[in-house]
C-alpha cells in the first residue's frame, strides 16, 4: 500500500469542477456593458482608485472557491492515509475484512476433542475481536465453489456469532482457483481505508502444496490493496482410513446372478492399520462383509464383495468401513440397474450350416452356454445373417455384435451411428472378409467414425503359434478380471492373424498384442453409446481365443458394460448430474429427491434430441432420485465424496513457507499471537470527514468574504459619490456668488 490511496478513484474526476469558478471569474472580468448614468461614473472613479485592492480580493475569493470544490471532490473519492501518525490529523481508522473459511471435508477431521473446523471457527472469532462495530465484514465458505454467507456487511457481533454457529464442513473438495475469484471480488467491494483478507484452513497438502499461477497472481493483486493473512490450524496428526473406490468388478447383471464388487480402502495416515472391516449393503440390508488383515501406511488395499441381484430395476449398494477421525469418506455408494431382459443382436458375416463353422457359433455359445437355462429369460441372443440386418430395428436391442461383416452400405452406417449415439452398444469383430481401407470409409459418417482406430493392414506374426495378449488399461470394467488371472491362462490364447490399427481421437486400447502397441480390443464413446473393436476374428480362423476360458468372461463383461445406463456411473459431490429421459411420458415437472428426502423441481431441457435434466451441484453424498413419470420407477444416481480430499495431511513449517514463497501472504501458525500480528500490521486511516469539513469551511469563508468585500466596496463608492456631489455643489455656489 502507498502513502495515499483512494477508495473511489473515479470521483477524482470531480476535481475538474474547479474550472467552473475560474471560467466564471474570467467571463465576468472581460464582460463590459456601457451604461450612461452619472452615478455609475462616480462609482467607476472609486473603483479605479481601489482597483489593485479589489483585484487581490477577487483572487482570494476565487482561490477559496476552487479550494472548496477540490476538497469536496477529494472527500467524495475517500482518500486513505497509510501512516501511523494519521490520527494526529483527525483521520478515521476503519478496517474492512474478508474471511475465507476452508469448509472442505478434510476440515471435519477430528484429531482430538474438537474438529479442525471447530478450531478454525475459534480462530475466526479471534479476528472478529479486533474489529470495531460497523466495520465491513465478508464471510465466505470455500469448497468446490464459494458460498458467500455475508457480503460486505457492517460488523455486528451477534449476527456473526449466529452465522458461525450455523456453518459446517461441506462434503466436497477445495477448489482453490474458483474460490479465490470470489474472495477477490469481495475485497474489491470492501470500502474501507484498511483492508485485510484471512484464509483460515487446515493447510491440507493436496490443496496448498503446489499453488497454481492463477492463485499466485490473484494473491499478488490482492496484496496491493490489502494485508493477507494465512491462519493455519494444521496438526501433525493426520490418521485417516478412506473408501476411495467402489464399483462393479465382474459378473453379469441378470436377475438371480451374483455380481462381484470391489472396494478400495486407502490408509492416508502415518501408522499401519490392522483388521479393517468392510461391509456391503444392498437396499439398506447387509449382504456381505470382509476383513482386510493389514493396510500399511500410505497404501491401498482392495477387497471383493458379492451381492446376489434378485430384483429387476435399480439396486442401491453401499460399502462402509468402521468410524475413524474422519467419517465423511467412510462410505461409498453405487447404483446397479438390472434389466428385465438384455437383448443382443449378433450379425453373422459368414454363416454356415455346419456346426461351429459359422462366424458366430462360438459367440452364441459363449453368451448362452445352456439354452433355456435360468439366464435365458434375462439375456436374449438373436443371431441373423448379414443380409437380414436391414429388416431389423436396432433400437430393440441393447447391444449389437457385427462379426466379419463386409459390404456395409451407407444406410447401414448411418443407422449404426444413430443407434450408438442414442445409447446403444456396438461390438465389431474383424475377419477374412475385412478390407481395412473399405471398412474405414464405410463406417464413417462425415468426419465421425464409428471405429476407435483406423485399420491399417492384416498382420501375420512370424511365430506360427501366434502372439499373446495383455491388458493395456488398468481398472477398466471390461478387462479388470484379466488383471487377476494367472499369466499362463492369458498366454494360452494365441492370435495367428489380426488387423493392425492406429487409434483416432477418442479411442483407447483395452487389450493389446504383447510386446507391441497394436490394439486387440479398443473402445470409443459416441454420443450416449460406446463401440468396442476386436481386431481379430470371432471364430477359430485367426485365433484359439474363442475356446479359451477367458473368452466368455470377456464377452459377458462387454455386454454388461455396454448395456449399462448413464445413471449407473458414480458422480462426485459438486459435479453436475446430467440425465437423458425417455422420449415420451415425461411429466412437465421433474422432481429430484436428495439423500435427505427433500424434493426440488428441475427444468426439462434437450440433449442430442432427447429430453434431459441437469442438477448442477449436488451438495450431499448418497442416492438421488429423479421422478419423471407417474407410475414408473425413478432414475437413481449415486453421488460420492471426492477421494482426493481424504488425504488430510497438512503442510507444516518450512513446507508451508515454501508454498507461499514469492507472495506477500503472512503465515500464522496455531500458536502465534494473532491479535499482536494484526495490531502491528494494521495501518490505514480515512480522511473524507476532515476534507468534507474543510471544504464546507472554505465555502462558508468564501461566502463571508464575498459579502464583506462587496459591502465595503459599495460603502466606499457611496462616500466618493457624496464627496464629488459636495464638491460640485460648492463649486456651483462659488460661481454663482
Query: What pLDDT, on a 0 to 100 scale, did the predictor assign at position 64?
Result: 77
Within 50-149, where are the H helices?
Answer: 51-77, 116-128
Query: What pLDDT, on a 0 to 100 scale, did the predictor assign at position 682?
Result: 63
> Does 540 reside within a domain?
yes
Cβ-contact 388, 433 below 8 angstroms: no
Band (pLDDT 50/70/90 cuts) for residue 156 is very high
Q: How is residue 224 annotated by DSSP?
A: T
Q: Are residues 529 and 409 in the same domain?
A: yes
Domain stop point among 275, 309, 339: 339
Report pLDDT digits (tens) over 373-404.
Answer: 444 567 889 999 999 998 899 989 999 999 99
Cβ-contact 5, 79 below 8 angstroms: yes
Q: How many CA atoms lie within 13 A of 148 on its CB side?
A: 16
Q: How far apart are CA 289 and CA 4, in angstroms?
A: 68
Q: How is residue 633 annotated by DSSP?
A: P
Q: Which of 154-158, 691-695, 715-719 is predicted least confidently? A: 715-719
Report pLDDT digits (tens) over 117-138.
Answer: 999 999 999 999 988 888 999 9
Band (pLDDT 50/70/90 cuts) for residue 719 is low
> Does 128 reside within a domain?
yes
Count Cβ atoms below 10 Å from residue 628 Cβ, excluding itself. Answer: 22
Q: How far apart are CA 310 and CA 313, in angstroms?
A: 10
DSSP per residue over 83-151, as a string? STTGGGGT-EE-EEEEEEEE-SGGGG--SSSS-HHHHHHHHHHHHHTTPPTT-EEEEEEESSSEEEEEE
Q: How many CA atoms lie within 13 A of 373 on its CB side?
A: 12
* Domain encompassing residue 260: 241-339
Please determine, for residue 702, whether its predicted confidence score (pLDDT) is greater than 50.
yes
> Does 28 reside within a domain?
yes
Once rounded to an integer, what is the mean pLDDT over residues 164-192? Answer: 94
Once rounded to an integer, what is the mean pLDDT over residues 78-98? Answer: 62
Q: Are residues 368 and 500 in the same domain?
A: yes
Domain stop point among 583, 618, 640: 640
Contacts of 57 (CB under 8 A, 6+ apart): 705, 709
Please determine, for residue 82, whether its predicted confidence score (pLDDT) is greater than 60.
no
Please determine, for residue 103, whether its predicted confidence score (pLDDT) is greater than 80.
yes
- The radius of gyration of the chain from alpha carbons, rounded to an integer in Å, stands at 41
Residue that the C-alpha cell 498384442 belongs to: 513
Once rounded to an integer, what is the mean pLDDT over residues 325-347? Answer: 92
Report pLDDT digits (tens) over 31-72.
Answer: 555 555 555 555 555 555 556 666 776 777 778 778 878 877
Q: How far apart are CA 398 and CA 96, in angstroms?
A: 61
Which phi and psi angles does 152 have, rounded to 5°?
A: 55, 50
Q: Are residues 399 and 469 in the same domain?
A: yes
Count Cβ atoms below 10 Å from residue 283 Cβ, excluding itself. Answer: 12
Query: What pLDDT, on a 0 to 100 scale, did the predictor assign at position 374?
Result: 47
Within 492-549, where are the H helices?
Answer: none
Q: How is residue 130 annotated by DSSP?
A: T
Angle between the 674-681 and 116-128 helix axes, to the nearest 10 degrees?
40
Cβ-contact 251, 260 below 8 angstroms: yes
Helix (H) or strand (E) holding 276: strand 273-282
> Does 144 reside within a domain?
yes
Q: How far apart are CA 367 and CA 381, in angstroms?
A: 8
Q: How far apart are CA 382 and CA 347, in angstroms?
A: 8
Number of domains within the chain: 5
> In the chain, pLDDT over 90 holds for what percent of residues?
54
Query: What pLDDT, on a 0 to 100 scale, did the predictor assign at position 85?
Result: 47
Query: What pLDDT, on a 0 to 100 scale, did the predictor assign at position 83?
Result: 43
Query: What pLDDT, on a 0 to 100 scale, did the predictor assign at position 368?
Result: 81
Report pLDDT digits (tens) over 8-25.
Answer: 667 777 667 777 777 776
Pairing of β 685-686 and β 79-81: antiparallel
Cβ-contact 428, 533 below 8 angstroms: yes
Please determine, for residue 180, whether its predicted confidence score (pLDDT) is greater than 80.
yes
DSSP per residue over 559-602, as a string? HHHHH--GGGSEEETTS-EEEE--SSS--SSEEEE-TTS-EEEE
Q: Are residues 255 and 198 in the same domain?
A: no
- The residue that leads in pLDDT, 220 or 94, is 220
Helix (H) or strand (E) holding 382: strand 379-385
Query: What pLDDT, on a 0 to 100 scale, did the predictor assign at position 723?
Result: 59
Please determine, for residue 684, whether its predicted confidence score (pLDDT) is greater than 60.
no
Report pLDDT digits (tens) over 139-155.
Answer: 999 999 999 999 999 99
> Does 603 reside within a domain?
yes
- The residue that leads in pLDDT, 311 or 725, is 311
Mean pLDDT, the chain, whole residue set: 85
Which phi and psi angles does 593 have, rounded to 5°?
A: -105, 125
The pTM for the full model equals 0.73
Q: Are residues 223 and 126 in the same domain?
A: yes
- Residue 362's alpha-carbon distances to 231, 346, 498, in angstroms, are 66, 11, 18
Q: How is residue 452 annotated by DSSP?
A: S
> Does 202 reside within a domain?
yes
Query: What pLDDT, on a 0 to 100 scale, did the predictor assign at position 71?
Result: 78
Contacts of 686 (CB under 8 A, 6+ apart): 7, 78, 79, 80, 81, 91, 92, 93, 94, 192, 193
Report pLDDT digits (tens) over 600-652.
Answer: 999 888 876 778 899 998 999 999 999 988 778 899 999 999 998 999 999 99
What residues are paired with 389 via a beta bridge?
none
CATH number of the domain that residue 351 is part of: 3.40.50.880
Give per-residue burial for 159-177: e unless 16+ CB within 10 Å, then b.
ebeeebeebebbbbbbbbe
Q: Are residues 253 and 147 in the same domain?
A: no
Query: What pLDDT, on a 0 to 100 scale, did the predictor assign at position 727?
Result: 54
Cβ-contact 343, 382 below 8 angstroms: yes
CATH number of the domain that residue 601 is part of: 2.60.40.10
Q: How is residue 106 annotated by DSSP?
A: G
> Does 558 reside within a domain?
no
> Does 164 reside within a domain?
yes
Query: What pLDDT, on a 0 to 100 scale, did the predictor assign at position 377?
Result: 60
Q: Which residue in 293, 253, 264, 297 sits closest to 276, CA to CA?
A: 293
Q: Which residue in 421, 431, 360, 356 sits closest to 389, CA to CA?
A: 360
Query: What pLDDT, on a 0 to 100 scale, did the predictor assign at position 720?
Result: 58
Q: How far apart are CA 95 and CA 198, in angstroms?
A: 13
Q: Are residues 671 and 692 in the same domain?
A: no
Q: Which of 354-368, 568-582, 703-717 is predicted least confidently? A: 703-717
Q: Which residue in 563, 564, 562, 571 sits closest to 592, CA to CA?
A: 571
Report pLDDT digits (tens) over 487-510.
Answer: 899 999 999 999 999 999 889 999
Once rounded to an integer, what is the mean pLDDT over residues 417-433? Answer: 92
Once rounded to an integer, what is the mean pLDDT over residues 660-677? Answer: 87
Contacts of 205 (CB under 8 A, 6+ apart): 647, 649, 650, 651, 655
Please determine, for residue 158, whether its predicted confidence score (pLDDT) is greater than 60.
yes
Q: How far apart are CA 631 and CA 187, in angstroms?
A: 52
- The residue that leads in pLDDT, 617 or 88, is 617
Once rounded to an integer, what is the mean pLDDT over residues 148-176? Answer: 93
Q: Are residues 225 and 249 in the same domain?
A: no
Assign 390 to helix, strand or coil: helix
Q: How far apart are CA 515 and CA 517, in angstroms?
A: 7
Cell of 204: 491440507
Q: Are residues 384 and 315 in the same domain?
A: no
Contacts of 67 (CB under 8 A, 6+ apart): 695, 698
Q: Are residues 258 and 184 in the same domain?
A: no
Residue that the C-alpha cell 495501518 belongs to: 683
Domain stop point among 583, 613, 640: 640
Q: Are residues 351 and 327 in the same domain?
A: no
Q: Are residues 461 and 480 in the same domain?
A: yes
Contacts of 61 (CB under 8 A, 6+ apart): 702, 705, 706, 709
Which phi and psi angles does 59 have, rounded to 5°?
A: -65, -40
Please determine, for residue 318, whether its predicted confidence score (pLDDT) is greater than 90.
yes
Query: What pLDDT, on a 0 to 100 scale, did the predictor assign at position 287?
Result: 96
Q: How far apart are CA 474 and CA 511, in angstroms?
A: 10
Give per-residue burial for 12-47: e unless 16+ CB within 10 Å, then b.
eebbeebeebeeebeeeeeeeeeeeeeeeebbeebe
Q: How is residue 351 annotated by DSSP?
A: -
Q: How far apart are CA 318 and CA 329, in angstroms?
A: 12
Count Cβ atoms below 10 Å from residue 140 Cβ, excluding itself. Answer: 20
Report pLDDT digits (tens) over 298-308.
Answer: 999 999 999 99
Contacts of 235 (CB under 8 A, 6+ apart): 111, 116, 202, 650, 670
Band (pLDDT 50/70/90 cuts) for residue 1 is very low
Band (pLDDT 50/70/90 cuts) for residue 84 is very low
Amino acid at each position: 500500500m502507498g502513502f495515499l490511496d483512494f477508495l473511489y478513484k473515479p470521483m477524482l474526476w470531480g476535481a475538474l469542477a474547479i474550472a467552473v469558478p475560474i471560467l466564471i471569474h474570467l467571463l465576468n472580468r472581460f464582460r463590459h456593458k456601457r451604461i450612461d448614468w452619472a452615478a455609475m461614473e462616480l462609482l467607476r472613479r472609486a473603483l479605479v482608485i481601489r482597483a489593485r485592492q479589489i483585484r487581490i480580493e477577487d483572487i482570494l475569493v476565487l482561490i477559496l472557491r476552487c479550494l472548496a470544490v477540490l476538497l469536496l471532490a477529494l472527500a467524495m473519492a475517500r482518500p486513505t492515509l497509510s501512516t501511523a501518525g494519521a490520527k494526529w490529523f483527525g483521520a478515521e481508522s476503519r478496517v474492512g475484512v474478508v474471511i475465507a473459511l476452508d469448509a472442505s471435508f478434510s476440515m471435519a477431521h477430528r484429531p482430538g476433542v474438537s474438529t479442525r473446523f471447530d478450531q478454525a471457527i475459534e480462530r475466526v472469532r479471534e479476528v472478529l475481536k479486533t474489529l470495531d462495530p460497523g466495520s465491513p465484514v465478508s464471510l465466505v465458505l470455500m469448497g468446490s465453489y464459494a458460498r458467500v454467507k455475508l457480503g460486505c456487511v457492517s460488523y455486528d457481533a451477534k449476527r456473526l456469532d449466529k452465522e458461525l454457529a450455523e456453518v459446517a464442513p461441506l462434503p466436497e473438495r477445495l477448489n482453490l482457483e474458483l474460490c479465490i475469484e470470489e474472495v477477490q471480488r469481495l475485497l474489491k467491494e470492501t470500502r474501507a481505508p484498511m483492508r485485510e483478507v484471512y484464509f483460515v484452513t487446515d493447510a491440507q497438502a493436496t490443496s496448498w502444496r503446489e499453488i497454481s499461477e492463477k492463485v499466485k497472481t490473484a494473491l499478488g493483486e490482492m496484496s496491493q490493496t490489502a494485508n493477507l493473512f494465512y491462519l493455519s490450524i494444521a496438526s501433525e496428526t493426520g490418521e485417516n482410513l478412506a473408501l476411495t473406490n467402489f464399483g462393479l468388478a465382474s459378473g453379469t447383471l441378470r436377475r438371480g446372478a451374483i455380481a462381484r464388487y470391489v472396494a478400495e480402502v486407502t490408509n492416508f495416515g502415518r501408522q499401519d492399520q490392522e483388521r479393517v472391516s468392510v461391509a456391503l449393503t444392498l437396499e439398506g440390508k447387509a449382504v456381505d462383509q470382509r476383513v482386510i488383515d493389514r493396510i500399511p501406511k500410505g497404501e491401498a488395499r482392495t477387497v471383493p464383495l458379492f451381492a446376489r441381484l434378485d430384483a429387476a430395476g435399480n439396486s442401491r449398494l453401499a460399502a462402509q468401513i468402521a468410524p475413524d477421525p474422519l467419517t465423511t469418506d467412510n462410505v461409498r455408494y453405487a447404483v446397479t440397474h438390472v434389466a428385465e431382459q438384455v437383448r443382443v443382436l449378433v450379425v453373422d458375416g459368414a454363416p454356415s450350416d455346419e456346426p461351429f463353422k459359422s462366424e458366430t457359433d462360438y459367440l452364441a455359445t459363449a453368451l448362452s452356454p445352456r439354452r433355456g437355462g435360468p439366464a435365458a429369460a434375462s439375456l436374449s441372443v438373436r443371431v441373423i445373417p448379414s443380409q437380414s440386418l436391414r429388416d431389423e430395428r436396432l433400437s430393440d436391442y441393447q447391444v449389437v455384435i457385427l462379426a466379419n461383416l463386409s459390404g456395409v452400405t451407407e444406410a447401414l452406417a448411418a443407422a449404426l451411428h444413430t443407434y450408438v449415439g442414442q445409447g446403444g452398444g456396438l461390438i465389431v469383430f474383424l475377419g477374412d472378409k475385412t478390407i481395412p481401407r473399405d471398412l474405414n470409409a464405410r463406417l464413417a459418417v462425415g468426419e465421425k467414425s464409428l471405429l476407435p482406430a483406423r485399420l491399417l493392414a492384416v498382420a501375420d506374426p512370424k511365430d506360427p503359434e501366434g502372439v499373446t495378449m495383455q491388458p493395456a488399461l488398468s481398472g477398466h470394467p471390461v478387462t479388470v478380471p484379466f488383471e487377476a488371472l494367472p499369466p499362463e491362462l492369458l498366454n494360452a490364447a494365441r492370435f495367428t492373424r489380426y488387423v493392425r490399427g492406429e487409434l483416432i481421437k477418442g479411442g483407447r486400447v483395452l487389450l493389446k498384442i504383447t510386446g507391441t502397441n497394436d490394439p486387440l480390443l479398443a473402445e470409443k464413446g459416441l454420443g450416449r453409446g460406446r463401440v468396442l473393436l476386436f481386431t481379430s476374428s470371432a471364430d477359430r480362423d485367426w485365433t484359439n481365443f474363442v475356446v479359451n476360458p477367458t473368452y466368455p468372461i470377456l464377452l459377458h463383461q462387454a455386454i454388461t458394460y455396454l448395456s449399462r445406463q448413464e445413471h449407473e456411473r458414480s458422480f462426485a459431490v459438486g459435479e453436475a448430474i446430467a440425465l437423458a429421459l425417455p422420449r415420451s411420458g415425461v411429466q412437465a415437472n421433474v422432481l429430484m429427491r436428495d439423500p435427505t428426502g427433500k424434493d426440488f423441481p428441475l427444468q426439462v431441457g434437450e440433449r442430442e434430441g432427447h429430453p434431459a435434466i441437469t442438477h448442477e451441484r449436488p451438495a450431499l453424498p448418497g442416492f438421488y432420485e429423479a421422478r419423471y413419470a407417474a407410475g414408473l420407477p425413478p432414475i437413481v444416481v449415486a453421488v460420492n465424496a471426492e477421494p482426493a480430499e481424504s488425504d488430510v495431511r497438512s503442510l507444516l513449517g518450512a513446507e508451508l513457507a515454501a508454498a507461499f514463497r514469492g507472495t506477500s501472504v503472512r503465515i500464522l501458525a496455531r500458536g502465534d499471537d494473532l491479535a499482536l500480528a494484526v495490531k502491528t500490521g494494521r495501518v490505514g486511516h480515512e480522511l473524507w470527514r476532515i476534507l468534507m469539513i474543510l471544504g464546507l469551511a472554505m465555502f462558508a469563508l468564501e461566502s463571508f468574504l464575498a459579502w464583506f468585500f462587496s459591502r465595503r466596496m459599495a460603502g466606499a463608492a457611496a462616500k466618493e459619490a457624496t464627496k464629488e456631489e459636495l464638491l460640485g455643489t460648492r463649486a456651483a455656489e462659488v460661481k454663482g456668488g
